[in-house]
Chains A and B, each alone.
Chain A
Amino acid sequence: MKLYHVVALVAGLVLASLLPLILPKYYTFIFAVTMCFAIYALGYSIILGRTGLLSFGHALYLGVAAYTVAFLMRPEMGAFRIFSMELLLIIAIGTSALVGLGVGAICIRYTRIFFGLINLGFVMLWHSLLLKLYYVTGGTDGLPIYIPSLFGVTFSHEIFRTFIFYYYVLGIFAITTYIMWRIYNSPLGLALKAIRENSVRAEFVGIPIGRYRLAAYVISAIYAGIGGALWAPLNGHVSPDVSTWLTSGDVVLMNILGGMYTFTGPIVGAFIFYNLKVQIMHFTTYWSFILGISAIIFVLLFPGGVMGWVSKVMPKLVKKSYRQKA
């Protein structure tokens, strides 16, 4: 990492920390939610941009994590109710990882497009189970999410949502981003790139492609789980809408929008996408239309995404894990 990278990072962190003090409370809330999706999108990038796997069902893990949190907080749990955010996070990570392992083990055996579709099948299965087993999951009404405690301290509803939790999420966002950075620059990161570039060759160079793809998949599931677990208390409520193939498509678009082959791309993409969505939905209910047109435009005209364009214009600033279009 160069000096200006470090400077930019520090400046960014400082700015991010000051945000709740300058902006209206509404924006603090929005940015906190955006960071959750940024974690989700960043984790997704390890399978899409890095390993070359397109999953069309990743919202499954958002849902699994969010519903896990909701479950553990239910009044029916009685004495076993868990309010500690730390504990909730750990358990949510655990369930996402387990489901990711199970689903991934099945999907990995399949070829490229089909990989995405199998994932789609799973998220639809999950969605229909959420709807049908309404006596457990609350059906279309969903389940409420209560305010968790942070490091043992409980805050009021207002302060939690619009101030304190923002910093908590920021901290986790910083940590998860750092971890992903390490993974990208590790031998495993190179192996995943190799698998993306030429999986046959990777195999003949001794890389166990199935195992590594599964590893990348589980990592992305965990990140989605973290994002989902953090999003749940912010949203205050979880419903089957969190796991549809629309929301699964969202994260793909976030990655492509921001730039599939750069490290910061997915994060930028998440920020732009989510904020745009919030703003646009104020004007029209035809968000799908706009989303659809944007997807087509990006695929045809800007496949490198925002950061891809930046890396062309300012190559020193953004390192692109370049790939020729086959």
Chain B
Amino acid sequence: MGIQSDAKIGEKILQTEGLKKYFGEVRAVDHVDLEVSEGEILSIIGPNGSGKTTLLNLISNMIEPDAGRIFFYGRDVTKWPPSRLAKMGLVRSFQIVNLFDGLSVLDNMRAAVTSKLGRTSKPFTSLDRDKEVTRTSIELLELFKLSDKAETLAGDVPHGDRKVLDVALCFALNPKLILLDEPTSGVSTSEKRPVMQRIEEAVRKGGVTAVIVEHDMDIVFGYSDRIIAMHEGKILAEGKPQEIRENEEVRKVVTGGL
């Protein structure tokens, strides 16, 4: 399945304007202006409580901002329901793995694929006989090296594979932009690279733009085109990995002398 994006390289596909989210007194996200360019892998780093996850939740419309707007391909999507965003190509994975645990891995994928193909509204056609759905689902599982686990229940699969499946479901939707919330969290150190590798392959192959929230600095510096560092709800610094690595303030607050 070819994942292609229509925009030219370098076009700004996601923009936020003055995004704010307060939880009572706490300014989780405090006036964030962000731009994401087509085809890049952008990482967001920051200490706990800096607002990274909240920002991700805002962009994926999981929560509503108190102020500010979000633009996707130039359209104001601030009030859209997540299902509509997903259909338009803005998808996300979850830090705490969010799968259909009671369904098989294959069914997890088929659910996403039928949704993408717009077939879910058909109540009388037989799912098993739909070759396109099955073929597409299996292809995707192969892309992420999950095919051997196809019949296993998602709840029974090892953690690393679950994280990958979480991301894989996003790809079923032919995404233009994928938000990855700590894709390697909870994964054992030896597994981290392979997991990230599978993800990066799929991203680059498909020309998908990715925004990653990560704690593991190795991963961040190893895979990003650009990095944004956050602190106390605001953007502290942004730039290429080397610039960020050398940035004094970022070191102090985030990387702790890495």
In the assembled complex, the Cα of A232 lies from the Cα of B146 at a distance in Å of 53
Residue of B nearest to A324 (CB): B155
Q: Is B226 an interface residue (CB 8 A)?
A: no
In the assembled complex, the Cα of A203 lies from the Cα of B82 at a distance in Å of 6
Residue of B nearest to A322 (CB): B102
| Cβ contact within 8 Å between A190 and B112 | no
Contacts of A188 in B (CB 8 A): 120-123
Q: Contacting chain A: which of B24-32, B125-133, B232-240, B242-250?
A: B125-133
Q: Is A114 an interface residue (CB 8 A)?
A: no
Q: Contacting chain A: which of B5-13, B91-99, B196-204?
A: B91-99
Q: Is A168 an interface residue (CB 8 A)?
A: no
Contacts of B84 in A (CB 8 A): 208
| Cβ contact within 8 Å between A185 and B127 | yes
B37-61: CB near A (< 8 Å → 1, else 0) gives: 0000000000000000000000010
**Nearest CB in chain A: distance from B115 CB, A:** 4
Given known contacts A187-B114, A205-B86, A322-B153, A193 and B120 CB-to-CB distance under 8 angstroms: no
Q: Is B229 an interface residue (CB 8 A)?
A: no
User: Which chain A residues numbered 178 to 221 have a C-beta less than 8 Å away from chain B?
Assistant: 179, 182-183, 185-191, 193-194, 196-198, 200-209, 212, 215
| Cβ contact within 8 Å between B98 and A182 | no
Contacts of B87 in A (CB 8 A): 206
| Cβ contact within 8 Å between A324 and B120 | no
Q: Is B169 an interface residue (CB 8 A)?
A: yes
Given known contacts A194-B111, A198-B100, A200-B98, A187 and B133 CB-to-CB distance under 8 angstroms: yes
Given known contacts A185-B127, A190-B110, A204-B92, A198 and B98 CB-to-CB distance under 8 angstroms: yes
Residue of B nearest to A200 (CB): B98
| Cβ contact within 8 Å between B153 and A207 | no
In the assembled complex, the Cα of A247 lies from the Cα of B75 at a distance in Å of 50
Q: Is A323 an interface residue (CB 8 A)?
A: yes
Residue of B nearest to A191 (CB): B120
Best-surrounded residue of B82, B119, B122 (most CB of chain A within 10 A): B82
| Cβ contact within 8 Å between B83 and A208 | yes
In the assembled complex, the Cα of A321 lies from the Cα of B100 at a distance in Å of 12
Q: Is B107 an interface residue (CB 8 A)?
A: yes
Given known contacts A185-B128, A193-B103, A207 and B123 CB-to-CB distance under 8 angstroms: no
**Nearest CB in chain A: distance from B93 CB, A:** 9
| Cβ contact within 8 Å between A190 and B83 | no
Q: Is B101 an interface residue (CB 8 A)?
A: yes
Q: Please pick, from A197, A206, A322, the residue contacting B112 in the complex, using a CB distance under 8 A.
A: A206
**Nearest CB in chain A: distance from B31 CB, A:** 26
| Cβ contact within 8 Å between B169 and A205 | yes
**Nearest CB in chain A: distance from B123 CB, A:** 4
Residue of A nearest to B91 (CB): A204
| Cβ contact within 8 Å between B99 and A201 | yes
**Nearest CB in chain A: distance from B199 CB, A:** 17
| Cβ contact within 8 Å between B60 and A182 | no
Residue of B nearest to A325 (CB): B102
Residue of A nearest to B107 (CB): A190
**Nearest CB in chain A: distance from B178 CB, A:** 11
Given known contacts A190-B110, A200-B98, A206 and B173 CB-to-CB distance under 8 angstroms: yes
Residue of B nearest to A189 (CB): B127
Contacts of A196 in B (CB 8 A): 102
Given known contacts A182-B123, A187-B127, A187-B133, A323 and B111 CB-to-CB distance under 8 angstroms: no
| Cβ contact within 8 Å between A193 and B124 | no
Residue of B nearest to A192 (CB): B120
- 6 nearest CB pairs, A to B: A323-B102, A197-B100, A206-B86, A191-B120, A206-B115, A187-B114
Besides A206-B115, A321-B102, 7 more A-B contacts (Cβ < 8 Å) are A186-B126, A187-B114, A190-B107, A191-B120, A204-B60, A205-B111, A208-B81
Would you give 12 A-B contacts (Cβ < 8 Å), ordered by A?
A185-B127, A187-B121, A187-B130, A194-B103, A194-B111, A202-B111, A204-B83, A204-B86, A205-B83, A206-B112, A208-B81, A215-B123
